[in-house]
Amino acid sequence: SFGRKIDEDLLDELEEVLISDDLGYETTMKLIEELRESYKNKEIETSEQIIPFLKEKIKNYWPQRDRELAKSDSGPTVVLVAGVNGSGKTTSIAKLGFNLSSAGHKVVVAACDTFRAAAVDQLSIWSERIGVEIIKHKQGADPAAVAYDACQAAIARDADYLIVDTAGRLHTQKHLMKELEKIKAVTSKKIPGSPHEVILVVDGTTGQNAIAQAKEFTGAIDVTGIFLAKLDGSARGGIVIAIKDKLDIPVKFVGLGEKPEDIAEFEPEEFVEALFS
Amino acid sequence: MFESLTDRFNSVFKSLSGRGRITESNISDAMREVRKALLEADVNYQVAKQFCKDVREAALGAEVVQSLKPGQVLIKIVQDELTKLMGPEGSDIYYVSPGPTVIMLAGLQGCGKTTTAAKLANYVRSEGKKPQMVAVDLQRPAAIEQLRTLGEQIDVPVYCEESKDSVKVAKNGLKDAKKNDADVVILDTAGRLHVDQELMDEVSNVAKATSPHQIYLVCDSMTGQDAVNSAKEFNERLELDGVILTKLDGDARGGAALSVKAVTGKPIKFAGVGEKIEDLQKFHPDRMAGRILGM
Ligand SMILES: Nc1nc2c(ncn2[C@@H]2O[C@H](COP(=O)(O)OP(=O)(O)OP(=O)(O)O)[C@@H](O)[C@H]2O)c(=O)[nH]1
Ligand SMILES: Nc1nc2c(ncn2[C@@H]2O[C@H](COP(=O)(O)OP(=O)(O)OP(=O)(O)O)[C@@H](O)[C@H]2O)c(=O)[nH]1
Ligand SMILES: [K+]
Ligand SMILES: [Mg+2]
Ligand SMILES: [Mg+2]
């Protein structure tokens, strides 16, 4: 479409691309409106400038400082991990733990999903494979008690990181959201200033519901960043743009497979590139 | 969260009197609202486009009865079309005789297959059948243990073995079920991405080796636009017999249901509505239509 003028047909095509990437209706319309405005103001003049214009715009949503994992000044850095059922929490914890321990940090993981069948076994297998210590109770135990013991162990072992796995829960389940608040309160009490990061794991194939997830989990436990899992498929995970736009929550990592090494720091340029590829 | 479609329609049609026909000029704004509602519900872009085109044709010229507002007439047409597309209703499992009836579950990672396997086992037992499950997921850490734990909870036997060969495990599971006189065998397979050729080959080899009577795609109701791509690929590789929609106990509008139905043409058999064994329901196209429209 060399030299093609910016007309309604072209904007329709763009709308299809953005919506198909799960940016959502509102965010898509907002971007297209901004594009229209820039065209009117002669900031852009031909169709060739559209994609670079949008890339630049979207990329700037995520400044570098937003993407780094917080670190406590002293004592263990606590990373609390939460999300809806099956989004990829436990696997993402294995990846994160592997990443941190490979970088020479001492990592402890806490098996606070005492609800789902064999969730404790799943994290135990991962902890063995990646060579980090796990703190666990039996299935059915109180997750807050596991968190308490894990904090104590992390302090006693002089761990650099404590990563807390929690049971999957839908954000609409009030009592389960309360349980999460309780886990957070326990770590804050045992390790002042913690959790240093509260990571929401979002399945990269999720559509508009991820906005409600981000909103409700943030309301309960102040999410500090997103781990965008399962980006190795054909879904692009564009919903994180709407989440950034509406709730200002940054993305920290992406998951690209089922193995511990299938993790990458979130790279806005690559991410935006993929949206338009 | 969303303004209801009825409200939006009523405001679009406010300028019109309560009589007359649905015409080109008064339908356009309303169809824009319908399209917006569908896209907000994650119905795939192309599927929404086709749907709106079809409804537009069906609605044009539709007689508006004195007592009804054009908005009400149109909304009924939309709802009926949507219901029709997601139908037919029917959760009956077709049992073969002599048994066992082999049912295979497949789908993306984390969509809810293993949980659904246990729910289904419980369901077929409530229909008087004797179920058995087979742990064919040899990939995910503790997948076997997960199925075994669920089996224990509901007292349904689970066949498993330490192996790397899923075809062999599936075949042995089937043999074991026959020996145990099971009426229904449910195969829980590993989660996989539709773009992963190696794993798609593997699941289709399991299907070839066991010739399931029913193959169901398990689909997370929170899935976005990409639902069409995965469903299409699974259907091409496995010749699906139906779909099970999970996690409908949340507030996802669930447009993936329409997308998946549109690209596979396969009936949606059940809805998962929670993490517990009994949280499996029959699928109701009319309720799903209302949900997608946000009404
Ligand atoms: N392809 C792919 N699969 C992933 C990725 N992350 C997780 N998975 C898979 O997704 C499935 C669910 O992952 P889990 O880590 O068990 O998810 P969870 O959120 O802990 O699940 P619950 O605890 O049951 O809520 C597993 O089969 C994982 O192997 C990823 O980045 N890519
Ligand atoms: N709320 C809710 N959770 C569900 C439902 N079905 C399954 N889950 C949960 O979703 C998560 C994933 O379920 P699994 O059964 O492990 O999913 P899977 O497809 O077998 O996962 P993989 O084998 O890793 O691909 C678990 O936390 C389940 O408890 C449902 O209908 N509602
Ligand atoms: K999922
Ligand atoms: Mg988990
Ligand atoms: Mg499973």
pLDDT digits (tens, 9 = 90+) for A158-210: 999 999 999 999 999 999 999 999 999 999 999 999 999 999 999 999 999 99
- For residue B209, pLDDT over 80 is answered with yes
- Please determine, for residue A226, whether its predicted confidence score (pLDDT) is greater than 60: yes
> What pTM does this model have?
0.97
Across the strands, what pairs with B214? B103
Segment B118-177, tens digit of pLDDT: 999 999 999 999 999 999 999 999 999 999 999 999 999 999 999 999 999 999 999 999
Which residues on chain A place their C-beta less than 8 Å from a C-beta of chain B? 16, 19-22, 24-25, 84-88, 115-119, 121-122, 124-126, 129, 139, 170-172, 203, 205-210, 212, 230, 232-236, 239, 258
Residue with tokens 């824009």: B32
Other CB atoms within 10 Å distance of the CB of residue A42: 7
Q: What is the pLDDT of residues A105-138, one digit of tens each?
A: 999 999 999 999 999 999 999 999 999 999 999 9
Please say whether the beta carbons of B40 and B2 come within 8 A.
Answer: yes
Mutate to test the interface with B, among A26, A85, A124, A200 (most CBs of B within 10 A): A85
**Nearest CB to B247; choose among A170, A205, A210:** A170
Confidence of residue B20 (pLDDT cuts 50, 70, 90): low
**Phi, psi angles (nearest 5°) of residue B68:** -105, 145
Residue whose structure tokens are 């899923």? B166
**Structure confidence at residue A1 (pLDDT):** 43
Distance, in Å, from the CA atom of B20 to the CA atom of B63, rounded to the nearest integer, reads: 7
User: Does the pLDDT at position B269 exceed 50?
Assistant: yes
Q: Tokens 């549109």 belong to which residue?
A: B262
Give the model's confidence band at B15: pLDDT under 50 very low, under 70 low, under 90 confident, else very high: low
- Split at pLDDT 50, 70, 90, the class of A2 is very low
Q: Encoding tokens for residue A83?
A: 């999300």
Per the CB < 8 Å rule, is A205 touching B223?
A: yes
In chain B, count H helices and then E strands: 11, 8
Dig out the tokens for B88 from the structure. 């037919």
Q: Which stretch of DSSP H or E encloses residue B228?
A: helix B227-238
CA end-to-end span of chain B:
11
Ion ligand 5, residue ranges at CB < 5 A? B 113-114
Q: Tell me the range of A37-51, B20-34, B44-58 where mean pLDDT is highest.
A: B44-58
Asked if B145's CB is within 8 angstroms of A117's CB, the reply is: yes
Q: Looking at this predicted complex, what is its ipTM? A: 0.97
> Taking CB atoms and a 6 Å cutoff, what residues make up the pocket around ligand 1?
A 83, 85-92, 113, 116, 119, 167-168, 201, 229-230, 232, 255-258, 262; B 109-110, 140, 191, 193
Residues B108-136 as b/e (b if ≥16 CB within 10 A, e otherwise) read bbbbbbbbbbbbbbbbbbeeebbbbbbbb
**Is the pLDDT reported for residue B190 higher than 60?**
yes
Inform me whether the C-beta atom of residue B275 falls under 8 Å from chain A C-beta atoms.
yes
pLDDT on residue B14: 66
Strands B268-272 and B280-282: antiparallel
Contact (Cβ atoms closer than 8 angstroms) between residue B178 and residue B100: yes
- Please check whether residue A89 is in contact with residue A166, taking contact to mean a CB–CB distance below 8 angstroms: yes
Question: What is the share, in percent, of chain B residues with pLDDT greater than 90?
Answer: 79
